[in-house]
Amino acid sequence: MIVIPAIDLRAGRCVRLVQGEKARTTVYDGDPVARARAFVAAGAERIHVVDLDGAFGDGSNIEVLRAIARAVDVPVQTGGGVRTSADVRARLDAGAHDVILGTLLVEQPETAAEIAREFAGHIAAGIDARGDEVAVRGWERGGGVRVDDLLARLEAWGVERVIATQIDRDGTGRGYDLDFYRRICASGAPRVQASGGAYAIGDLRALQALALPSLEGAIVGRAIYEGTLDLAAAVTALA
């Protein structure tokens, strides 16, 4: 299981939200490119970039994404505001290796299925859940679709990577909802990443101890920025 550091972008800066709420935003860094380089220097094998402006529908950080992808030699996965095939193409052209679909999976499943086929091998699914319901539009509202139902769709579409978040744990430092990840991995998804909930190395060890073959990594943001988890030490501990 690898540690995947997160860069959440708002107006070109590294930020973190608590439970996806815009009003609970903390700015950590004005230079996301330097931050990405530091993550790779610490041993990161993949970087997770979220365009929060795109997710909220009030801007874009694609040029920052391009600069990050050019600056590092590891795969970059990115999401936030991906609505069309053109959006996917633009992010792949900017240097991303994987593009994450979120709201589109729920609101326009036919389009999502077409994109999954068109860009096979480069599409990941973001499942952001409040309880059993998938949230959409930057987590601002429920999508009316159950997690299990969305997982069944993904299997049919051939989507092989799932990034799963239990929103009530995100940015809170309360650790992971381990049962949630047991359930996601049991769905048959070949590659699963856990997101939201890490505070210290013990949280990552608890996730790794589940010994779930399809659990490929954990995305960590706030804990790294606030210093409760050292990225280099975590990479070494989980290797």
- Of these residues, 53, 87, 98, 128, which one is catalytic? 128
pLDDT of residue 28: 83
67 burial type by CB count under 10 A (0-12 exposed, 13-18 middle, 19+ buried):
middle
Let me know if 230 is a catalytic residue.
no
Q: Which residues pair with 133 in a beta bridge?
A: 130, 146
pLDDT digits over 124-183, tens only? 999 999 888 998 875 565 668 899 999 999 999 999 999 999 888 776 678 899 999 999
Q: What is the predicted pLDDT for the residue at 159? A: 95
Whole-angstrom distance, CA of residue 145 vs CA of residue 22 = 23
Residue 19's φ and ψ, nearest 5 degrees, are 55, 30
Q: What are phi and psi of 8, to 5 degrees?
A: -100, 125
Q: pLDDT band for position 67 (50/70/90)?
A: very high
What pLDDT digit, counting tens, does each position of 4-24 carry? 999 999 989 988 776 555 656
Residue 198 near residue 226 (C-beta atoms within 8 A)? no
Mark whether 58 is an active-site residue.
Answer: no
User: Kindly report the CA angle at 124 between 180 and 207, in degrees rounded to 5?
Assistant: 30
Return the pLDDT at 139: 57
> All domains of the chain, ordered by start, with CATH?
2-238 (3.20.20.70)
What is the rounded CA–CA span in Å between residue 201 and residue 211? 16
- At 179-210, the pLDDT tens digits run 999 999 998 889 999 998 899 999 999 999 99
pLDDT (tens digit per residue) in 90-113? 999 999 999 999 989 999 999 999
pLDDT of residue 30: 85
Amino acid 126: pLDDT: 94
Q: Would you state the pLDDT for residue 138?
A: 58
